[in-house]
Amino acid sequence: MNPLLLHVHHVALVLSAAHPLTKTSTGEEVAFWIFGPLAIVCALSLVFAKNAVHAALFLVVVMFSLAIFYVMNQAPFLAAVEIIVYAGAIMILFLFVLMLVGVDSSDSLVETLRGHRAASVVMCIGVVGLLVGGIAHALSGTTYTTLTDANAAHHGNVQGIARLIFTTYVFPFEVVSALLIVAAVGAMVLAHREKGQKVGQRELMKRRVAAGGRIGSLPGPGVFARHDDAAQRALLPDGSPDEADVLPEMAGIAPSSNPGDGGEQA
Amino acid sequence: MSPNWYLYLSAALFVIGAMGVLLRRNAIVVFMCIELMLNASNLALVAFSRMNGKLDGQVIAFFVMVVAAAEVVVGLAIIISIFRTRRSASVDDANLLKY
C-alpha cells in the first residue's frame, strides 16, 4: 500500500479520535429529561394498569419515546421501524387479540405461590441496583465517539445498515427470514380452527341412496290402476306393480298384477 | 449529560418489564411486558452503537425487532388457542399439558 495513503488514513483516525464525546448537546439533554421520565412513568402504568387496553396504550407511549431516543442516538432507520413495526403492527395485533379474548378478563388477585409478589419486588429492586452499579462501574471514565463518521462513510444511516446486513450479517439475515416464515406458518396452524362439518342436501341424498332406501316419494293408491280397490297396487313407470304401495296385511287380498296393463304401459 | 444515561434508562425499563412479567397474571399483559423488556435491550444496543461509533449495534437491534415480531405472532396464537379451550387468558389456569 502507498505509504502516503497509509499516513493520510492514520491522520484521519487520529483526528476522529481527537474529538471524543463526553457531553451531548443541550437539546438532546432537554429531550432526554422530558421523554425519559415519561417512558418510566408509562412503563410503570403499563405494569399496574387494571384495564389491559390501557396497558397497551401506555406501551405505545413508551415505544414512541424510545423512537425519539433512537433519533437522538443517530439511528433514524430504527426509529422509523420502531414506530411502523412496533407501535403500528405489533400493538394492533395485541389490541386485536385483547378484543378477541375479552377486555374484562381481569387478573386474579390470588397468589398461587405465597409471598411471590413481595419476593418479585425485592428481586427487581436488587436487579436494578446491580445493573445501575455495573453500568456506572464499567463505564466510568470512558470516552465516546459518535456515529457521524460511520454514517457518513456509507452516505447515510440506512445505507450503512443495508451494507452491514447484506455483507457481514447476511447469514443471520437469511436465518431470521426463515424464522419469520416458520412463525407465520406456526401462527396459522395454532390459531386455525376446523369448521364443524355442516351436512348439506347433497350429502343427505347420497347417504340415503347408499343405505338402499327408496329414492322417490311413495305413489298414491290406485295410480295407473283400473280398479278402485284400496288393495290394488300402483304401477311403477316400467309397468310392474309397486310392492310398497299396499300394506303387507292386504297383500294377500289384492291381485298381484293387472293383466293387460303391462302391455299398455310398456 | 453523559450517554450513560441511556443505559440507566434502559436498565430501569428492563426491570419494570421484568416486574410486570412476575406480578401480572393476564397472559396478554405479560406478553406486553416482555415486549417492554426487548425494547429496553434495543435501547441499550443503540446507545452502545453510538458510543462505539459503529453501526453493528443497530443491526443487532434490528434483528432483535424481527425475532420479537415472530415471538409475538406465535405467542398470541398460543394465547388464543388456550383461550378457546379454557375460556381464560390467565397464566395460572393453564397448569396442565392437555385439557
Three-state DSSP state, A214: coil
**pLDDT below 50 — which residues of chain A?**
1, 4-18, 258, 260-266
What confidence score (pLDDT) does residue A70 get? 94
List the alpha helices (DSSP H) in chain A. 3-17, 26-48, 52-72, 76-81, 91-101, 116-138, 148-153, 157-166, 170-191, 201-210, 261-265
What confidence score (pLDDT) does residue A50 get? 86
Average pLDDT over residues B82-92: 80
Chain B residue with minimum CA distance to A165: B59
Contacts of residue B63 in chain A, CB cutoff 8 Å?
169, 172-173, 176
Helix B4-23 crosses helix A52-72 at what angle (to 10 degrees)? 160
Which of A59, A100, A117 lies at the smallest CB-CB distance from B36? A59
Q: Which residue has the higher pLDDT, B12 or A150?
A: B12
What confidence score (pLDDT) does residue B19 get? 93
CB contact under 8 A, B73 and A93: yes
Chain B residue with minimum CA distance to A82: B65
Chain B residue with minimum CA distance to A52: B29
Question: What size, in residues, is chain B?
Answer: 99
**Which residues are CB-contacts of B3 (< 8 A; sequence separation ≥ 6)?**
A21, A24, A73, A144, B47, B50, B51
What confidence score (pLDDT) does residue A12 get? 46
CB contact under 8 A, B35 and A86: yes
Interface check B90 vs A, CB under 8 A: yes
Burial class (CB in 10 A: 0-12, 13-18, 19+), A30: exposed
What confidence score (pLDDT) does residue A227 get? 63
Which of A43, A70, A86 lies at the smallest CB-CB distance from B13? A43
What confidence score (pLDDT) does residue A115 get? 85
Interface check B19 vs A, CB under 8 A: yes
Which of B43, B67, B90 lies at the smallest CB-CB distance from A66? B43
pLDDT digits (tens, 9 = 90+) for B39-80: 999 999 999 999 888 899 999 999 999 999 999 999 999 888
pLDDT digits (tens, 9 = 90+) for B14-25: 999 999 999 888
What confidence score (pLDDT) does residue A228 get? 64
What is the C-alpha radius of gyration for chain A, rounded to an integer number of angstroms? 41
Average predicted confidence (pLDDT) for chain B: 89
**Which residues are CB-contacts of A138 (< 8 A; sequence separation ≥ 6)?**
none
- Nearest Cα of chain A lies from the Cα of B97 at a distance, in angstroms, of 15
What confidence score (pLDDT) does residue A143 get? 78
Nearest-angstrom CA–CA distance, A249 and B91: 69
Contacts of residue B72 in chain A, CB cutoff 8 Å?
90, 93-94
What confidence score (pLDDT) does residue A222 get? 54
What confidence score (pLDDT) does residue A186 get? 92
Cell of B11: 436498565
CB contact under 8 A, B53 and A147: yes
pLDDT digits (tens, 9 = 90+) for A167-219: 999 999 999 999 999 999 999 988 887 777 778 888 888 888 888 777 777 66
Residue A111's φ and ψ, nearest 5 degrees, are -80, 120
What confidence score (pLDDT) does residue B90 get? 80
Q: Report B:48-87 residues touching A (Cβ under 8 A).
A: 49-56, 58-59, 61-63, 65-74, 76-81, 83-84
CB contact under 8 A, A108 and B2: no
